[in-house]
Amino acid sequence: MNKIQIIDAHKHVGEKVKIGAWIANKRSSGKIAFLNLRDGSAFFQGVVVKSEVEEEVFQTAKNVTQESSVWVVGTVQEDSRSKFGYEIHIETIEIIGDAVDYPITPKEHGTEFLMDNRHLWLRSSKQHAIMQVRNEIIRATYEFFNQEGFVKVDPPILTGSAAENTTELFHTEYFDRDAFLSQSGQLYMEAGAMALGKVFSFGPTFRAEKSKTRRHLIEFWMIEPEMAFMDQDDSLEVQEKYVAYLVQSVLDHCDHSLDVLERDKELLKQYTQLPYPRISYDEAVELLNKNDFSVTWGEDFGSPEETFIAEQYDKPVFILNYPKAIKPFYMKPHPTREDIVLCADMIAPEGYGEIIGGSQREDDYDALREQVEAFGLDTKEYEWYLDLRNYGSVPHSGFGLGLERVVTWLSGTEHIREAIPFPRLLNRIYP
């Protein structure tokens, strides 16, 4: 007799198997008990028919509590009524560990209660499906960049300098000097690109913003590619190709999870069609002001503005070339306009907002040093970064994609906190 995982049930139709599982839920009548079993790989139904098993087995099935762990032995059968397609007709059931007064019952619970019990909420079918989508995005990310000839480089988490706004840094002390939790690995990725050509990092990122929106986290994971000898247009092509690859991978490998999440697969398929539309910042301001918004040129866009722009298209859209004054110091100015920079944000459809921010980097030493000083940054802290322009500088570009935002979008969930496995300390302080 084989011991199997639920996800492999389709390979064992008609066979007697043994499965270790937890009781996600149950219901019973006088003659049949239905157990919703989960084992970490998937969920499916276990059926116990009173007339076909010993009385002790039926009573165990009838009285077992939610989230108790069990061994079940039975025969796998097809079940056309369920989305999963299979079930097990149980012959014996053995309790491994009892669960008493499990707090997350099948009734409705508020988000704060569920987040406070995230260590348990993660067991639910919806959260399981979201984590499957997250896992596939991570797997597909490595696959995509490996296929495209990128090398993974790991930047430090504790840094002595800021990539963007110094007011958004978490400060700590590193022996006798100041240090900060990384808000981006980008500067280090630029050094990596000068050595290895095309690189990417994938790691935790921290922003000291007391935000309580459904789109923001204080600690999250970023994928940050950097590419030598590539301009902004080259980078945009990589970005859209990467995002379309992620969407297709989720469609190919998370079919059942998308069913559980009730995600519209036909809608997701639209997002694999390239190229994605492009609109300049100037055009976006004009569009918004023609449609009852009041946006002054030079302001950044908020959630309502991004959502409206995205609604004009049936797939992700790039907003190009923002004002220089609202962007970080390292972005290269537009060749014909000093007031804007060569950058782009990719805005996801369906109101999910920005999922990528990228730019062509300033590759001239003098121009970059001037920007470092203009932003009030300590040039000594950035000498190594300026050095990259002193020794064979080349045009180069890069971008950052927020993992949790993409998970939220592709899984169709309402709140970004559902896209993280656990409520990290910083995200609990300012939920």
Stated pTM of the model: 0.92
Domain boundaries of the chain, sorted by first residue: 2-97, 118-419
Phi, psi for 126 (deg, rounded to 5): -65, -45
Average pLDDT over residues 71-97: 95
Phi, psi for 13 (deg, rounded to 5): -60, 130
Average pLDDT over residues 391-409: 97
Residue 67: per-residue pLDDT: 97
Residue 182: per-residue pLDDT: 79
What confidence category does residue 425 fall into, taking pLDDT thresholds of 50, 70 and 90? very low
Residue 180: per-residue pLDDT: 81
- Alpha-carbon distance of 113 to 423, in angstroms, equals 12
- What CATH class is the domain 2-97? mainly beta
**Mean pLDDT of all residues belonging to the chain:** 92
- Asked if 85 contacts 78 with a C-beta cutoff of 8 angstroms, the reply is yes
Biggest CA pair distance of the chain: 85
| Residues across the chain | 431
More confident residue, 396 or 207: 396
Average pLDDT over residues 410-421: 85
- What CATH class is the domain 118-419? alpha beta
More confident residue, 209 or 29: 29
pLDDT surpassing 70 at residue 383? yes
What confidence category does residue 193 fall into, taking pLDDT thresholds of 50, 70 and 90? very high
Kindly report, residue by residue over 232-281, the tens digit of the pLDDT.
999 999 999 999 999 999 999 999 999 999 999 999 999 999 999 999 99
pLDDT surpassing 50 at residue 428? no
- Alpha-carbon distance of 401 to 413, in angstroms, equals 18
- Alpha-carbon distance of 137 to 104, in angstroms, equals 28
Among 283, 277, 412, which Cα is nearest to 352's? 412
Q: From the CB of residue 232, how many other CB atoms can be counted at a distance below 10 Å?
A: 21
Average pLDDT over residues 172-176: 81
Residue 429: per-residue pLDDT: 41
More confident residue, 204 or 276: 276
